[in-house]
Structure 1
Amino acid sequence: MAVSPRPPSRRARRRQSGVSLMELLIGISIGLLVVVAAIGSLVYTRTSTIAVGDSSRLQQDASNAFRTLGHHIRQSGARRIVNPTVGDTNVAFNDAYLGFGTNSNTSAPLVLQGTEGADNAPDTLQVSYDTDPVLQSMDCLGAPTLVANNISSTFSVVGNELRCLGSGSVTPFALLQGVEDFQVLYGFRIADDSFQYRTAAAINVMVPAPWEQVETVQVCLRLVGEMSNNPGADMTGCNGENVVNDGRIRRVFFRVFKVRNQGI
């Protein structure tokens, strides 16, 4: 005789029952909150990564620009040693080097000069030094000079590009993009032997203009990044002016270079 199975008790049926609608809604809500938090964290991390990458790129761009500028500024006025005349035991420098013209103070070649931009516009810097046919001296664009005995480089900013016109080309080319400002100050000693920095305009109005006395050159670059949603604040530019934040990362970099060959 078959025996029918014993029906489950009320307690067993309670243990096998599913979740209630309220518990299901609470679980879904918690899961959605976790997903939203994860997405927010991902967006913040991505934004931070882009900002750090943009800032690092500006640092690298500034280093590259200063490397080029520093090389040519330090070389300003350098002249190669040539064989002295027969019987002369003194060191002789190349007299064929003419620079940018004759300095009225010393009748020596003008090796460094600048032009100040109007109303805080970017400046222009011009430097020159003698060529070395053995070492094949190059201008700021890496080209040999087209002018004998003279490597010259003119730095300026056009359309947010730091450009250089070298003596090996008749056309300026961009060295760096994202450059909003390029300001140059020139350091020299005055009558009481104090050291001062002056703009190109301040030097040019002095009679005679003491370009041959310039010992150091201070360069300021203001660079702007590509990111457009940076939550930063306003900043101060090269000349102390206020630069309104428009969502892009900006950095201001200063560097001072020693002019090694003035007075040679």
Structure 2
Amino acid sequence: MPKKIVTGSRQMCVEDRRYSKKGYQRGVSLVELMVGIAIGLMVVAVAGGVLMVSRGLTGTVSDVSQIQQQAAYALRAIGQQVRQSGSLYLDLNPENETNTDIDRYAIPVAFETRAGTGNFGFDPKTDSIRGTATTLNVGYSRYAETLFFKENASDPDAQSQSRDCLGGPSDAAANSIYRRLQSNFSFSAIGGSNDLVCTGTTIPAQTQPIVTNVANFQIRYLLQGKSGSDAGSTTIRYANTGDSGFSWAKVTGVEVCLVLYGTERMDLLTGDISSYTDCDGTTRVDMSSAASTDMNGVAIGTSRAGRLHMVFRNTYQLRSQGLIGSVL
């Protein structure tokens, strides 16, 4: 039987067809590569946009949470001191009765309206509350009571459980001169820090920030009785220290307004949608514009423009209930 000789060229064609039928891959063309790159870039662009939106929302939520936490702490610290303002010491044994046979329930009690003398004494007529539209100074008497349990054996038997806004003064023997606790709250913009600060009781005075990023701090006072009427009237009205008929003896409560701003810059829309009402209740401030002015006529500037602002208010009643100077 004769043999068939196959040339090399014919063999290559047969091999090419054989590999082609089995799905042999020869790579991608330039068009296919460019299409793949374009699709990949579109996916990256969409993912980047989603990431930026998510980052913006996360920053806004974090800003709101931080502002609310700062406001809650500031109002709690102020309220703790204001509610104690004008409080008096109840002396359970004003006659210093030492007879153990007497019925303890029959011992008379008394409210002491004054504590100590000198610069560190407490007189409710003059030391309970003072301030302006932007500062608040409150005070109350500091008395030590005998404790049933002491944390350390070296601690004094009688200690005071009251503290000023800075947590002092301590019950060290040297601090026995402080018969009055006082806390002075004010707004400080030194160095552009914009802090709400508090000055405590001790001398030399110690001042430290309570919260930061404060845009405004305003105080209004609630007076018991109309202008010109006696302090015992049941009518309550808001007033500032410069109003006619204002008297510290008639002050029965304090309204605190606090405006805080965040740390995240946002792309805010212009107009009323990005505005807030300042502490006066009428001035609209545009958070998106550095030229927008607050209730004091001061521009918010580039340091606050584009940042979230939130307004907080709270009203606190004094224990004296407006009777300081008229009854006490």
Give the TM interval when normalised to the shorter protein: 0.7 to 0.9
Higher RCO (CA-CA < 8 Å; seq separation 6+): 1
The runs of 5 or more residues in structure 2 that have no matched partner are 98-105, 146-158, 227-232, 288-304
User: Taking structure 2 as the reference length, what is the TM-score of the superposition?
Assistant: 0.66
Q: Is the 8 A contact 1:161 1:174 kept in 2?
A: yes
Could you say which residue in structure 1 is the equivalent of 2:293? none
**Which of the two has higher C-alpha Rg?**
2
Q: Is the 8 A contact 1:51 1:230 kept in 2?
A: no
Deviations 1:74-124 (A, max 9, x none): 000011112323799653122433899878xxxx344112212xxxxxx00
> Hey, what's the Cα distance between the residues in 2 that align with 1:110 and 1:190?
21
Q: Is the 8 A contact 1:100 1:128 kept in 2?
A: no
Percent identical = 31
2:225 paired with 1:190? yes
> Hey, what's the Cα distance between the residues in 1 that align with 2:142 and 2:70?
28
What pairs with 1:121-160 in structure 2 (closer than 5 Å)? 123-134=134-145, 135-136=159-160, 137-144=162-169, 147-159=177-189, 160=194
User: Taking structure 1 as the reference length, what is the TM-score of the superposition?
Assistant: 0.81
The runs of 5 or more residues in structure 1 that have no matched partner are 117-122
SS at match of 2:40: helix
Q: Per the alignment, do residues 258 and 185 of structure 1 end up closer, same or farther by CA in structure 2, a change over 3 Å counting?
A: same
2:319 paired with 1:260? yes
SS at match of 1:249: strand
Q: Which of the residues 37, 44, 68 maps onto 1:28?
A: 37
Q: Is the 8 A contact 2:261 2:309 kept in 1?
A: yes
One-letter code of the match for 1:254?
Answer: R
One-letter code of the match for 2:95?
Answer: T
SS at match of 2:242: helix
SS at match of 1:200: coil
Q: Is the 8 A contact 1:77 1:111 kept in 2?
A: yes
Could you say which residue in structure 2 is the equivalent of 1:119? none
SS at match of 2:222: strand
Could you say which residue in structure 2 is the equivalent of 1:112? 129
Cα RMSD (Å): 3.1
How far apart are residue 11 of structure 1 and its match?
A: 7.5
> Hey, what's the Cα distance between the residues in 1 that align with 2:140 and 2:4?
115
> Hey, what's the Cα distance between the residues in 1 that align with 2:138 and 2:5?
111
Q: Is the 8 A contact 2:122 2:179 kept in 1?
A: no
